[in-house]
């Protein structure tokens, strides 16, 4: 594996390898000193053209636990504002000596462009409405942690599927792992075409919930005027929100997930987010370990890797 | 000590313990390599809903000298802008594996809320107009360094007492340490009620200065339209500023303090800030050592502490 | 060497010493673990009153490769916005215990002021339209790397010389190293007086290029309304841009340089920036090694330097 751009590049074996690595890094994360020297001397840069403190800190924490150095190239303060091209920015960063570039951008496909320009490994940390592969991997890991396997599980993904890179990556990862996925959304929030998506579709959440092992609520991106696609936000919540009443339709061991940040009271009721089988903070914790696995896979066997550790690093 | 939320939680013994720890960390700070492995493997996150580079860097420097990792969760770029609740932000941060959360917020009481939600230790780095306990501790340490003790010292706190978390915390700490405190301010800048404050009050600075061992000038927060509470800024300076002429009323060994950043020419004349017994930069230097003491107390005996150091950390 | 404020403070021996140190740090940068313990325990702070992610990251990367700690005091979020004077900000930073202050400011002369106030070493990372000495040093190093020496080389500096601190520093460094420098610009973009500049001047780029060993294109700072000084940007490019056609006038081994960020299509054509003898990304890579050399010279023999390394640092 040279880059991590899309979940579609990962077959079942590749995902399982990352799951096994994540098991190890979850163990590392629970140590008194949660740090291993695996990436000592490597530099991981976050190149975020869309700000996301939570994703950036998750990658930075992962990099530090592997003893890598981190650099943060946030676009809001960077040369991009001075009209520099993306390519020149990326080549400048690489010239300073980086091993992994973690890129987030509002345009689909940018991580592929970046990968074509550099020798460094590239991780897609979200490109437009397209893909967010590490989110899908941490979601797989969290479900596997709760239920042992994804094989045969019934997973409902609820909400703004059409604009969601999380949904796009999750569908691929969950079905590769053997789950049955049902999308639940009003027609205006579904993708224009679902051809080739190995999923069922429903617009009746009440009907789907009793038959569901995992319900995955997508964030309603209110900052992007999604309301225009809906009669009203209140009606959305009434029909597609996981309200307290509706949550009673779930089996006792059904798992509730959300990629964060949550709009409590919109896609998920406050009480539901706090129920025992809600694993939303576990997703965050697993995110660090999954990203350790990904960074280790991409940079751990790099030719710059020395034969032995060096306490002076 | 599980958290540091308020000076009111600290009795004389507790403050003295922090003073003794600070003595040690002042010594560490003067070493060629000012670093000890005490908090290796711990993570200290600064969660600042009000920006303050000086306070944030002081905590970060303290954390690094203890070999802790640091994370910076600045609200201006965070999920808070996407409507995430404070509680969800805090729980997300904790899920990434942090040991200490240093929180600053414009609303009084937020650090207590944060502490109620997490297992991590919480330090109040300023909440509204309420408290700023590490400032009070570094002020105590600086006075003790200059004068040996606070017992029996006469300390004047001058300026916008009513809106100052520094004044609130200092009054408690100074009086706990045995000092006599006089507040000097125009009536409009005093708190609405001083019931329970163990202080004297004056509006005649010229009368107070000759009888004062320490004069502590508060910052006039010009960015918050304090002028509305004053006839004019010029008149404030004329009556309550420590001008060059007025500073002649001070005893030779009287100590001049200010929490910074100073408005030279408003609450303090430029020449006065530079006089020998002005210890304003010493306050900054001591701030790092005091915060090392606080972080060590909160995180040093954590169950994640290993039995022995690890040079590979 | 106590500070690095101006190239004018460096004679030929001093520049050559930095070139030799840079050779060593280029070698360090190519190691599997590009890190030496030379500045362990030192703190390097970047105090940037003008944002420049590329320069700041270059210094930070250099500091980390020397095992120094780094602090970032960016003005946009700092006390400067609260009206604190530059001097108080600098003394506050120093009080926290820093060894090197890397300062960028829009006003010429600020680094000298800063140096007069502190015991820490000061590096000028760009002051107004005045100087940018580390840029000049990395440019010297890059030319020496390409051509063995600067002695007797013919170097053309093209573009907005009048407002360029890069040009000002480069002219001094290149001529100190024995090169012949020609400035090529429309009269409105030349300094008001060139008295004392040991350079030739031309406004005919086509005439100069065939006789040039190195062509150094300055950035047209479009964000600063330079267009007002030009008939039109298109005409500037037509007469002074290194277009594809014009690049054919260059000797095959002529070196093309630019300090970045580039305006491709304005001062340099996209294809020209990518030609084999264009060394623009090499300049970036060498920048890290040159800054390692400068930081080492300024802080490596500091009295806080311990006799021996310490793996626990």
DSSP string, A51-93: --HHHHHHHHHHHHHTT-EEEEEEGGGSGGGGT--HHHHHHHH
Residue of B nearest to A67 (CA): B313
Q: Residue B64, Cα to own-chain centre: how many angstroms?
A: 19
pLDDT, residue B311, reads 34
Cβ atoms of A267 and A215 within 8 Å: the answer is no
Look at residue C78 in the predicted model and tell me its pLDDT. Answer: 56
Cβ distance C144 to C155 under 8 Å? no
Cβ contact A92–C54 (<8 Å): yes
Tell me whether B95 touches chain A (CB under 8 Å): yes
Q: Does the pLDDT value for residue C303 go beyond 60?
A: no
Q: Give the count of beta carbons closer than 10 Å to the beta carbon of residue C135.
A: 25
Q: Hey, is the C-beta of C74 within 8 angstroms of any chain A C-beta? A: yes
What is the rounded average pLDDT of the residues C143-165?
Answer: 97
Strand partners, C43: C69
Residue A52, pLDDT score: 86
- Whether C312 sits inside 8 A of B37 (CB atoms) is yes
Chain B CA closest to residue A273:
B88
**According to the model, what pLDDT value does residue B224 have?**
67
Predicted pLDDT at B53: 87
Amino acid C228: pLDDT = 75
Say if the Cβ atoms of C306 and B33 lie within 8 Å: yes
DSSP B175-206: HHTT-EEEEE--GGGS-S--TT---EEES-HH
Nearest-CA neighbor of C176 among C21, C1, C2, C8? C8
Size of interface B-C (CB pairs under 8 A): 83
pLDDT of amino acid C73: 87
Range C72-98 average pLDDT: 82
Alpha carbons C278 and C280: distance in angstroms, whole number: 6
The pLDDT of residue B310 = 36
Cβ-defined contact of A53 to B79 (cutoff 8 Å): yes
Inter-chain residue contact A222 with B83, CB threshold 8 Å? yes
**Portion 278-297 of B in contact with C at CB < 8 A:** 281-282, 284-285, 287-288
Given this model, what pLDDT does residue C229 score? 78
- Provide the shortest C-alpha distance from residue C126 to chain A (in Å): 16
Q: Outline where chain A has alpha helix (H).
A: 12-29, 53-65, 86-95, 110-117, 133-147, 165-176, 205-208, 233-240, 244-247, 270-273, 280-299
Asked whether residue C305 carries a pLDDT value surpassing 50, the answer given is: no
Closest-CA residue of B relative to C67 is: B33
> Are A141 and A22 contacting, i.e. CB atoms less than 8 angstroms apart?
yes
Residues B94, A309: C-beta atoms closer than 8 Å: no
Asked if B41's CB is within 8 angstroms of A34's CB, the reply is yes
Q: What's the pLDDT score for residue C308? A: 34
d(CA B60, CA C149): 44
| Number of Cβ atoms within 10 Å of the Cβ of A196 | 6
CB atoms within 10 A of CB C251: 12
Among B304-313, C106-115, C158-167, the minimum mean pLDDT is found in B304-313
C312: pLDDT confidence band, cut at 50, 70 and 90? very low
Mean pLDDT of each 10-residue bin along chain A, 313 residues long: 96 98 97 95 94 92 96 70 83 96 96 97 97 98 98 97 96 98 95 93 97 97 73 90 97 96 94 93 98 96 41 33
Taking the C-alpha atoms of residue C41 and residue C312, their distance in angstroms, rounded to an integer, is 11
pLDDT of residue A78: 55
Q: pTM for this one?
A: 0.92
Which residues in A260-274 are b (16+ Cβ under 10 Å) and which e? bbbbbebbbbeebbe
C260 touches chain A (CB under 8 A): yes
Q: What residue ranges define each of the domains in chain C, with the CATH number in brackets? A: 7-130+284-299 (3.40.50.1370), 133-280 (3.40.50.1370)
> What is the pLDDT, as a whole number, of residue C50?
87
Weakest mean pLDDT among B156-170, C45-59, C76-90: C76-90
Q: What is the pLDDT of residue A81?
A: 62
Q: What is the pLDDT, as a whole number, of residue C182?
A: 98
Mutate to test the interface with A, among B83, B306, B310 (most CBs of A within 10 A): B83
Average pLDDT for C233-262: 95
Task: Look up residue B63 and give its two tokens.
Answer: 């954390």
How far apart are the C-alpha atoms of A44 and A299, rounded to whole Å?
Answer: 9
The model's pLDDT over C176-196, given as tens digits with 9 standing for 90+, comes to: 999 999 999 999 999 989 998
Rg of the Cα atoms in chain C: 20
Cβ–Cβ pairs < 8 A, chains A and B: 83
Per-residue pLDDT of C194-215, as tens digits, reads 998 999 999 999 999 999 999 9
pLDDT at A303: 43
Based on C-alpha coordinates, what's the Rg of chain A? 20
CB distance C82 to C75 below 8 Å: no
Give the pLDDT confidence of B215-251 residue by residue, as tens digits. Answer: 999 999 876 666 677 878 899 999 999 999 999 999 9
Tokens at residue B101, please? 């959360």
Res. C313: pLDDT tops 70: no
Q: Among A32, A223, A284, whose Cβ lies nearest the Cβ of B96?
A: A284
- Determine the Cα–Cα distance for residues B176 and B150; give it in Å rounded to an integer: 9
The average pLDDT across B160-170 equals 96
Average pLDDT, chain B: 91
Reported as a pLDDT band with limits 50, 70 and 90, residue C53 is confident
Please tell me which of the candidates C43, C95, C310 has its beta carbon nearest to residue B281. Answer: C95
What is the complex's ipTM, to 2 decimals?
A: 0.90
């Amino acid at each position: 594996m040279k880059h991590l751009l899309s979940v579609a590049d990962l077959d079942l074996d590749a995902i399982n390898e990352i799951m096994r690595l994540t098991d190890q890094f979850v163990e590392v994360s629970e140590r008194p000193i949660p740090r291993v020297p695996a990436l000592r001397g490597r530099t991981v840069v976050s190149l975020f053209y869309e700000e996301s403190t939570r994703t950036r800190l998750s990658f930075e924490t992962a990099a530090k636990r592997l003893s890598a150095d981190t650099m943060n190239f946030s676009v809001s303060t960077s040369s991009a504002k001075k009209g520099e091209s993306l390519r020149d920015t990326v080549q400048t960063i690489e010239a300073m000596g980086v091993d992994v570039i973690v890129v987030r951008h509002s345009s689909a496909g940018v991580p592929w462009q970046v990968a074509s320009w550099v020798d460094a490994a590239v991780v897609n940390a979200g490109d437009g409405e397209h893909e967010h592969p590490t989110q899908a991997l941490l979601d797989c890991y969290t479900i596997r942690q709760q239920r042992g396997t994804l094989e045969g599980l019934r997973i409902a993904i609820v909400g703004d599927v059409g604009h969601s890179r999380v949904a796009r990556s999750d569908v691929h990862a969950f079905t590769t792992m053997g789950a049955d996925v049902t999308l639940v959304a009003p027609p205006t929030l579904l993708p224009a075409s679902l051809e080739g998506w190995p999923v069922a579709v429903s617009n009746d959440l009440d009907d789907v919930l009793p038959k569901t092992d995992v319900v995955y609520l997508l964030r309603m991106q209110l900052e992007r005027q999604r309301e225009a696609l809906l009669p009203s936000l209140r009606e959305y919540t009434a029909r597609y929100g996981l309200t307290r009443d509706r949550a009673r339709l779930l089996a006792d061991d059904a798992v509730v997930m959300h990629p964060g940040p949550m709009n409590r009271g919109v896609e998920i009721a406050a009480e539901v987010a706090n129920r025992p089988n809600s694993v939303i903070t576990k997703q965050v914790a697993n995110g660090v370990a999954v990203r350790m696995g990904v960074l280790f896979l991409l940079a751990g066997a790099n030719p710059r890797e020395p034969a032995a550790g060096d306490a002076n690093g």
